[in-house]
Structure 1
Amino acid sequence: MFASLWIRNYRLFFVGQVVSNVGTWMQRIAQDWLVFQLSGHDAVALGVAVALQFAPTVLLSLWAGVLADRADKRRLCIAVQSGIALQAGVLGLLDVSGAVGLWHVYVLCFVLGTFSALDVPARQAFVAEIVGDALIPNAVALNYSVFNLARIVGPAMAGFGITWVGTGWMFFANAVSTSAVVAGLALMEPGKLFRASAAGRAKGQVREGLRYVRGRRDLIAVLLLVFFVSTFGNTFATSLAVVAGNVFGTQADGYGLLSTLLAVGTFAGSLLSARRGTRSSPRVRVMLLAAAGFGAAEVVVSFMPTYVAFGIALVPVGLASVTFLNTALSLVQARCGPEMRGRVMGFYVLAQLGGYPAAGPMVGWMAEMFGGRSPLCIGGAVSIIAALACAAMLSRHGAIRSDLASR
């Protein structure tokens, strides 16, 4: 389960991610709740903030993938993480001083989204350089375990912290925690990285990546499935705040607890994926079953009548969600050449996050028109349909038969 941790460079990366991701989740909860307060509990305003945070992904992720193939990924990650810390510090200063307005949050959401759009393709491609191709599935799963362990701790800390000292100090906490990532990256031994040859500067490198992906129908099917499940199903950044505040009438601590219960499932799923990642290559069937199971579990949770029942039902939703995302990412990483990995990761990030600018306002609109539970029910149904359509595409391509034959 922890095979990648035998590598010193990965241990440094792992520890930095543990600390930083707790701060990231504290900021995420605080940011959502700050928007909710400044807008008078307006679900659409919350959706706009989410849209602004993820809009740069649509604009920059493909170019960021090219940059990841060209640049020293370690140095690029250090620069981007420093920018993220600065953004958190500015938002915290505005909030604590009482000068913050809704438009400030919107602008800084866009700034954070810009840094994140540059960070994700480089960081995901860098993981392969840290551990080598053989341990990619295990390292990807351990990264998800870090993310989701923080998702258990961070929202709970943020929920109670907001109640005691306010949202502003949560942003300062994230700014400080990000220094752990920068320190870990700086302490790595560059000579022990499994580096691929950097792509030279040339025209048409985005188009080259597009031609590569377009010629791989198996990659296209996985990317489409990731897009539909992420855009319509994985909308918890908006929907949980709406359910907590408008359906069950709780405060920030109630929202934080729902996020924590979801993270209990995602953490369990990531550990199971890490164990599976040391024994076999990522499986197409696991990805398809997890996507369909996630959709079914999300439909069920949307009908839970009480706050407690709703929270408990989020655990299997989280488990299925991270199993799907981890397997999909491992499949894409394992099936592309190292010289194209940054660009392919750019397409993956676009598929996973590119729909969020539309999904945020869409979820807010659905919550106002059809009730706070409706985005979960509709998103779950879309995820099931997308899993069935992807299964049909991969069956025609022969990916499922080869998956079975390789057992």
Structure 2
Amino acid sequence: MITMNLRMIITAVWLYERTGLGSTLAYLGLIELAVRIPANMYGGVFADRLDRKKLIAFTQLSSFIFIGLMTFLESFSNLEIWHVYLVTAILSATSVFGNPSRSALTARVVPRNVLAHAVAMNTITWQVGTIVTPFLFFVTSFAWKEQATESLVLSFWINTLFALISVASPLFIRESGKALDSKDKTNIHRNLVEGFKYVIAHPILPGLYILDIGVTVVSYYRELFPIFAKQLYSRGRDAVAILTAFNAIGSIFGEVF
């Protein structure tokens, strides 16, 4: 959670400081949208076929490799805009690809009678990570200075460190990660079609998905915080950190109350 959130803040700020154009952040959002939908669909299929702990570890390993690559390039001042877009596309796909496995493992580890509380705690934990992340960015990007113009390379290195920790974390889960009802011999695309038919025929799920899509479209604005910080508050990295933190605090209040 910290790894992904910190990457999103760093790349958005880096792009906006590099170009000064809001369109670069819009392209970043379009790239994420383009890869997230197919990655999520295939992630659900593979979560029913493969060891979920290993699948999550693989997605985290991808994060470590590509965030480390950006860090290496930035350390030598060789990071380019297209590098950021390419890494964003890959990591958006891999992070979403592992989401179904995370949800399935939660249902496996937690007793059914407290599953709803576990789901709520997962969301709260996500938001707590979103609060911690901007403070990490605030310190490592030198945002506490009046005019922070230093390179973001320290933030990149801290992000790489958290990515490394995330690689091993799923393997410490004691519960088996293998699917109880394996579908190894079933065609992957047939599974996708069957899942789509099930959702369409369900009396509740289509409405929930439409609602979720609508909420996501109008609420996914965090990557625009560098623009808000500059245009609304005439600030820089410090305002981005504060906006990100308060956005998460509001989400936690919504979860609790």
Common fold: TM-score over 0.5: yes
Displacement after TM superposition at 1:56 (Å): 1.3
**1:245 corresponds to 2:224:** no
**Match for residue 80 of structure 1?**
59
**Structure 2 counterpart of 1:25, which letter?**
N
User: 1:317-332, aligned counterparts within 5 Å?
Assistant: none
Displacement after TM superposition at 1:230 (Å): 0.5
**Match for residue 181 of structure 1?**
166
- Alignment counterpart, residue 47 of structure 1, candidates 26, 33, 37: 26
- RMSD over aligned Cα atoms: 2.0
Question: Could you say what secondary structure the match of 2:223 adopts?
Answer: helix
- Alignment counterpart, residue 35 of structure 1, candidates 10, 15, 27: 15
Displacement after TM superposition at 1:81 (Å): 0.8
Question: Could you say what secondary structure the match of 1:220 adopts?
Answer: helix
Deviations 1:166-205 (A, max 9, x none): 32222222222133333332222235x7953222331211
- Alignment counterpart, residue 200 of structure 1, candidates 184, 200, 204: 184
With the length of structure 1 as denominator, give the TM-score of the two structures: 0.57
Pick closer, same or farther for the CA change 1:32–1:111 going to 2, 3 Å: same
**Structure 1 counterpart of 2:194, which letter?**
E
- Alignment counterpart, residue 43 of structure 2, candidates 38, 47, 64: 64
Deviations 1:262-290 (A, max 9, x none): 111223333x27xxxxxxxxxxxxxxxxx
User: 1:346-385, aligned counterparts within 5 Å?
Assistant: none
Displacement after TM superposition at 1:24 (Å): 2.8
Q: Is the contact made by 2:13 and 2:237 (CA closer than 8 Å) also made in structure 1?
A: yes
With the length of structure 2 as denominator, give the TM-score of the two structures: 0.89
**1:26 corresponds to 2:12:** no
2 CA distance for matches of 1:25 and 1:170? 12
Pick closer, same or farther for the CA change 1:63–1:162 going to 2, 3 Å: same
Kindly report structure 1 stretches of 4+ aligned residues shifted beyond 6 Å. Answer: none
Structure 1 unmatched ranges of 5 or more: 1-20, 274-407
**1:229 corresponds to 2:215:** yes
Question: Could you say what secondary structure the match of 1:189 adopts?
Answer: coil
Pick closer, same or farther for the CA change 1:162–1:253 going to 2, 3 Å: same
Q: Is the contact made by 1:129 and 1:196 (CA closer than 8 Å) also made in structure 2?
A: no
Displacement after TM superposition at 1:126 (Å): 2.0
Number of residue pairs matched? Answer: 249
Bigger helix fraction: 1
Pick closer, same or farther for the CA change 1:194–1:115 going to 2, 3 Å: closer
Question: Could you say what secondary structure the match of 2:142 adopts?
Answer: helix
Displacement after TM superposition at 1:257 (Å): 0.6
Q: What percent identity do the matched residue pairs reach?
A: 19
**Match for residue 217 of structure 1?**
203
Q: Is the contact made by 2:45 and 2:192 (CA closer than 8 Å) also made in structure 1?
A: yes
Displacement after TM superposition at 1:212 (Å): 0.8
1 CA distance for matches of 2:243 and 2:137? 12
2 CA distance for matches of 1:197 and 1:162? 47
**Structure 2 counterpart of 1:110, which letter?**
A
2 CA distance for matches of 1:201 and 1:81? 27
Deviations 1:134-159 (A, max 9, x none): 33211111111111111112112203
Question: Which structure would you say has the larger Rg?
Answer: 1
Q: Is the contact made by 2:226 and 2:236 (CA closer than 8 Å) also made in structure 1?
A: no
Q: Is the contact made by 1:160 and 1:252 (CA closer than 8 Å) also made in structure 2?
A: no
2 CA distance for matches of 1:257 and 1:93? 28
User: Relative contact order, CA 8 A, sep 6+: which one is greater?
Assistant: 2
**1:124 corresponds to 2:124:** no
1 CA distance for matches of 2:83 and 2:136? 24
Q: Is the contact made by 1:129 and 1:194 (CA closer than 8 Å) also made in structure 2?
A: no
- Alignment counterpart, residue 131 of structure 2, candidates 134, 145, 152: 152
2 CA distance for matches of 1:110 and 1:247? 29
